[in-house]
Amino acid sequence: MYIDKVKQEMKIPEKVRIFDTTLRDGEQTPGVAITPEEKIRIAKRLDNLGVDVIEVGFPAASLGERKAAQEIKGLGLNAKVCGLARVLQEDLDAALDSDVDYIHTFIGTSPLHREYKLHMDQEEILTKAVDAVEYIKDHGIIAEFSAEDATRTEFEFLKNIYTAVEDAGADVINVPDTVGVMVPASMRQLVGDLKEVVSIPISVHCHDDFGLAVANSLAAVEAGALQVHATINGLGERAGNTSLEEVVMALMATYGIKTNITTELLVGTSELVSRITGVKMPPNKAIVGENAFAHEAGIHVHGVLQKAETYEPLKPEMVGHTRRIVMGKHTGARAIKSKLDDYGIEMNEDQFCTLYDQVKKLGDKGKMVTDADLQALAETVLGKPKEEKVKLEGFTVMTGDNVLPTATVKLNIDGKIKTAAKTGVGPVDASINVIQDLVRETADIELKEYHIEAITGGTNALAEVFVIMADGEGHSATGRSTVEDIVMASVEAVLDSINKILLARDMDQLP
């Protein structure tokens, strides 16, 4: 592995602490508001997950924030319960009143923040930072200090303020890439330079404005950072924060670095946070997305079925996920046969070829065939009679405003072509009416039952139609069809049933 060559040059630790800020920075995701009760639910799940610190919010913001912090602290969690505070007396007191055992305090340090937000010079900012840390430590609380917008701050000032808060008793210094402007090489350089001047643990808080939050966090660890701030699903301001699930799995699987995270709980935790916040994950979201361990392409599926590692860097079970073989236009025969084996469905070669062609045709129309779709299609193929006395040669239907639903059907009945048109209360009714009329000379067969069901959700869901037809001689048969068009599914199901009845009548006439 190439990583093994470069790891020797890195200062990577054996273990990294995970500081979770889902309930603070994650809640700052536009449109997200988490109630105190929901914060408690998420905090319990985060503690089960194994995060080291839970930043529960900004106690000075509201009474609700303080009450939520107090209640979470009262749960007796294994994780440290942290409150955020500016270097202001009222903020620090609000955090202390919340009974948290960890305070994360911050002040802006970059020229932009000094000039346009704070209207303070370097000396004033440094003094306030030191005073805040000393105040926290006077109360026997763990203190973490962040130089907000550190990555756009002059290094000399950054070095001065971090060494000053270390001297004041800070337990951890945090390096926020507040607007996500770093690249891995510069983050590695910055953390490495800070390691030369401070001896307390270095933490990083990266934002994803350029999609580099995880990469920058990993680069910081490569330079010796011992803690990473992260959120579940990468929630946070603007483009979000470092994704906890991504950075944890990269640390573990790629670098061999330990964390306290129980990785099997990642997907479940992701889903809980997604439900509570209302922020749905894109299907291609790394680690926890619906498609993170899904395969469609025939070459990939073949490889995965032989040896999962050919196209999977992780076992899905490691993160609480499951592997999915998705059926579509890229799906190979091996994948479909593997699925059929899972369902216990046996087919002969002709039946399988019919099923395979149906899956490919649906894929060409842009349809993804789900497990439920495949089973329904397979049942339809298996249920088809060996011989078809009645075959569909052509079919059109017309319906709409001020138009009586009309179906025109062309059938091949024992080698004779017959065509007719009929109306009905709807396109399905019209279609069944004309089919019954066309076969009446051969057999008087009537519809007894009709059921329809969408296999999966969505307007492009496959429709499964189930019918029971009967003649006047005591023969009845079920018919089934599964296609994406409800009217066509109804036509095919009716013809399926009719052919079964005609086959039964022929069997009765055998000597």
Query: CATH number of the domain that 49 lies in?
Result: 3.20.20.70
What pLDDT shows up at residue 79? 98
What's the rounded Cα separation, in Å, for the pair 434 and 344? 38
CATH classification of the domain holding 449: 3.30.160.270
- The SS3 assignment for 75 reads coil
Q: Are 248 and 38 in contact (CB under 8 A)?
A: no
Better-scored residue on pLDDT, 302 or 310: 310
- Our measurement of the distance from residue 384's CA atom to the centroid of its chain's CA atoms, rounded to an integer in Å, reads 38
What pLDDT shows up at residue 296? 56
What pLDDT shows up at residue 274? 93
Q: DSSP string covering 121-142, please?
A: -HHHHHHHHHHHHHHHHHTT-E
pTM as predicted? 0.75
Span 238-266, average pLDDT = 97
What's the rounded Cα separation, in Å, for the pair 209 and 239? 5
CB-based contacts of 276, cutoff 8 Å, min separation 6: 34, 38, 41, 42
Identify the domain containing residue 330 by its residue range: 294-382
Q: Quick one: what percent of the chain has pLDDT higher than 90?
A: 64
CB-based contacts of 288, cutoff 8 Å, min separation 6: 233, 245, 266, 267, 270, 271, 281, 319, 321
What pLDDT shows up at residue 356? 83
Residue count of the chain, please give it. 511
Q: What is the pLDDT of residues 434-476, one digit of tens each?
A: 999 999 988 899 999 998 987 776 667 788 888 998 998 888 8
Residues 234 and 349 in one domain: no
Q: What is the pLDDT of residues 55-88, one digit of tens each?
A: 999 999 999 899 999 999 999 999 999 999 999 9
Residues 177 and 253 in one domain: yes
Per-residue pLDDT band for 328 (boundaries 50, 70, 90) equals low
Residues 360 and 399 in one domain: no
What pLDDT shows up at residue 303? 58
* End residue of a domain, out of 366, 382, 398: 382
Q: Are 479 and 497 in contact (CB under 8 A)?
A: yes
What's the rounded Cα separation, in Å, for the pair 119 and 111? 10
Average predicted confidence (pLDDT) for the chain: 89
Q: Are strands 445-454 and 416-423 parallel, antiparallel or unpaired?
A: unpaired
Strand blocks (E) in 6-64: 17-20, 53-57
Lowest mean pLDDT among 165-169, 235-239, 354-358: 354-358
Residues 395 and 340 in one domain: no
* End residue of a domain, out of 322, 354, 382: 382
pLDDT at 304 over 60: no
Better-scored residue on pLDDT, 293 or 277: 277
Q: Which helix (H) or strand (E) holds 465?
A: strand 463-471
Residues 253 and 349 in one domain: no
Per-residue pLDDT band for 166 (boundaries 50, 70, 90) equals very high
Residues 270 and 353 in one domain: no
Q: How far apart are the first and last CA of the chain?
A: 74
Residues 192 and 268 in one domain: yes
Q: Are 97 and 133 in contact (CB under 8 A)?
A: no
- The SS3 assignment for 466 reads strand
Residues 151 and 46 in one domain: yes
* Residue 283 counted as domain residue: no
What pLDDT shows up at residue 66? 93
For residue 120, what are its two tokens? 């303070």
What pLDDT shows up at residue 478? 82
* Residue 285 counted as domain residue: no
* Residue 123 counted as domain residue: yes
CA nearest to 34, candidates 53, 76, 62: 62
Token look-up 């599926």 returns 301
Q: What is the DSSP letter of 251?
A: I
What's the rounded Cα separation, in Å, for the pair 274 and 280? 6
Span 301-318, average pLDDT = 69
* End residue of a domain, out of 348, 382, 416: 382
> How many domains is the chain partitioned into structurally?
3
* Residue 150 counted as domain residue: yes
What's the rounded Cα separation, in Å, for the pair 339 and 282? 25
Residues 390 and 367 in one domain: no
Token look-up 């062609």 returns 357
What's the rounded Cα separation, in Å, for the pair 92 and 119? 21
* Rg for the chain, CA atoms, rounded: 33
Span 12-29, average pLDDT = 96
Span 76-105, average pLDDT = 97
CB-based contacts of 113, cutoff 8 Å, min separation 6: 148, 149
What pLDDT shows up at residue 19? 98
Residues 221 and 310 in one domain: no
What pLDDT shows up at residue 8? 78
Q: What is the pLDDT of residues 106-130, one digit of tens each?
A: 999 999 999 999 999 999 999 999 9
Span 218-243, average pLDDT = 97
Q: Rounded to 5 degrees, what angle do the CA atoms 480, 497, 362 make?
A: 35
CB-based contacts of 487, cutoff 8 Å, min separation 6: 397, 407, 427, 428, 431
Better-scored residue on pLDDT, 323 or 452: 452
What's the rounded Cα separation, in Å, for the pair 507 and 511? 9
Token look-up 């209640």 returns 71
Better-scored residue on pLDDT, 383 or 375: 375
Residues 310 and 350 in one domain: yes
What's the rounded Cα separation, in Å, for the pair 352 and 332? 12
What pLDDT shows up at residue 453? 83
* Residue 396 counted as domain residue: yes
Residues 48 and 180 in one domain: yes
Q: What is the pLDDT of residues 357-382, one digit of tens each?
A: 877 777 666 666 666 667 777 877 78
What's the rounded Cα separation, in Å, for the pair 468 and 36? 55
* Residue 158 counted as domain residue: yes
pLDDT at 300 over 70: no
Token look-up 């670098």 returns 255
* Residue 493 counted as domain residue: yes
What's the rounded Cα separation, in Å, for the pair 169 and 186? 28
For residue 58, what are its two tokens? 């900004």
Burial of 26 (0-12, 13-18, 19+ CB in 10 A): buried
* Residue 287 counted as domain residue: no
